[in-house]
């Protein structure tokens, strides 16, 4: 398993996910990929489905995928989000992360992006008190060579 974040950084990221999901019914996941087979965006699309993120009720999942060894990342959202957000939504998130990453502030960048995603999504997918957490808040880790042979 890839080790990129310190335990205290993982705790901060998971707390940011939970904080964001208290504002929106959207579901946010962070995934680290050790041996991506493709460029980050294509890997994120494949991972999105492998993690079952397309199965949320409102199709409002968001995946932030990092491939640290390749120095790549991607952010994607499900079709429910893409139908309602402005055209440059994902580009602005990408630029935010890139700015933090250039400074080596990986955890701070992920937390800032999650906070902004939660803030923006609440306009389209507000949190309802009967809302249930449809996806794990934990960071997931992958190694394509092991998982997919």
pLDDT over 90, % of the chain: 79
Contacts 24+ apart (CB under 8 A), 6-13: 6/107, 9/106, 9/107, 10/139, 12/107, 12/111, 13/107, 13/110, 13/111, 13/114, 13/139
pLDDT digits (tens, 9 = 90+) for 39-79: 999 999 999 999 999 999 999 999 999 999 999 999 999 99
Q: Encoding tokens for residue 138?
A: 């934990």
pLDDT digits (tens, 9 = 90+) for 88-138: 888 889 999 999 999 999 999 999 999 999 999 999 999 988 889 999 999
Domain 7-132 architecture: Roll (3.10)
**Confidence at residue 18, expressed as pLDDT on a 0 to 100 scale:** 97
* Residue 72: strand pairing partners: 67
pTM value is 0.93
| CA–CA separation, 53 and 62 (whole Å) | 8
What confidence category does residue 1 fall into, taking pLDDT thresholds of 50, 70 and 90?
A: low
User: What is the C-alpha to C-alpha distance for residues 143 and 64, in angstroms, rounded to an integer?
Assistant: 16
Domain limits, the chain = 7-132
- Measured between alpha carbons, how far is 53 from 63 in angstroms, rounded to an integer? 8
Name the band, by pLDDT with cuts 50, 70 and 90, for residue 143.
confident
Q: Please compute Rg for the chain using Cα positions.
A: 14
d(CA 74, CA 120): 18
pLDDT of residue 144: 55
Question: Among 147, 7, 144, which Cα is nearest to 69's?
Answer: 144
Q: What is the mean pLDDT of residues 30-39?
A: 92
Cα 30 to its chain centre, rounded Å, is: 4
């Amino acid at each position: 398993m890839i080790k990129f974040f310190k335990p205290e950084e993982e705790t901060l990221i998971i707390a940011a996910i939970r904080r964001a999901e208290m504002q929106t019914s959207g579901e946010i996941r962070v995934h680290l990929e050790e041996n991506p087979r493709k460029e980050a965006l294509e890997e994120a699309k494949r991972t999105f489905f492998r993690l079952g993120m397309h199965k949320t009720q409102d199709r409002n999942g968001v995946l932030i995928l990092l491939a640290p060894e390749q120095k790549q990342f991607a952010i994607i959202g499900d079709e429910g989000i893409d139908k309602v957000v402005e055209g440059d939504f994902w580009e602005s998130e990408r630029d935010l992360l890139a700015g933090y990453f250039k400074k080596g502030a990986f955890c701070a960048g992920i937390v800032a992006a999650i906070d902004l995603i939660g803030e923006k999504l609440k306009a389209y997918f507000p949190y309802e008190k009967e809302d249930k957490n449809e996806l794990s808040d934990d960071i997931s880790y992958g190694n394509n060579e092991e998982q997919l042979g």
